[in-house]
Amino acid sequence: MSDSQKFVLPALPYGASDLAPTISSDTVDLH
């Protein structure tokens, strides 16, 4: 398995604090 590639996730289409108060920005940043 020498031809492995780095996997990069795309940026979220919303800010980390946009889900508050359901999900805190700290939780989004953690994941």
The pLDDT, as a whole number, for residue 13 is 94
CB atoms within 10 A of CB 28: 16
Dihedral in degrees, nearest 10, Cα atoms 9, 24, 15, 6: -10
Q: In whole angstroms, what is the distance from residue 11 CA to residue 3 CA?
A: 25
The pLDDT, as a whole number, for residue 10 is 92
Enter the DSSP assignment of 5: -
Residue 16, class by beta-carbon neighbours within 10 Å (0-12 exposed, 13-18 middle, 19+ buried)? Answer: middle
The pLDDT, as a whole number, for residue 19 is 87
Question: Of 8, 10, 30, which is closest to residue 19 (Cα–Cα)?
Answer: 30
Per-residue pLDDT of 1-31, as tens digits, reads: 577 899 998 998 999 889 889 989 889 888 7
The pLDDT, as a whole number, for residue 12 is 86
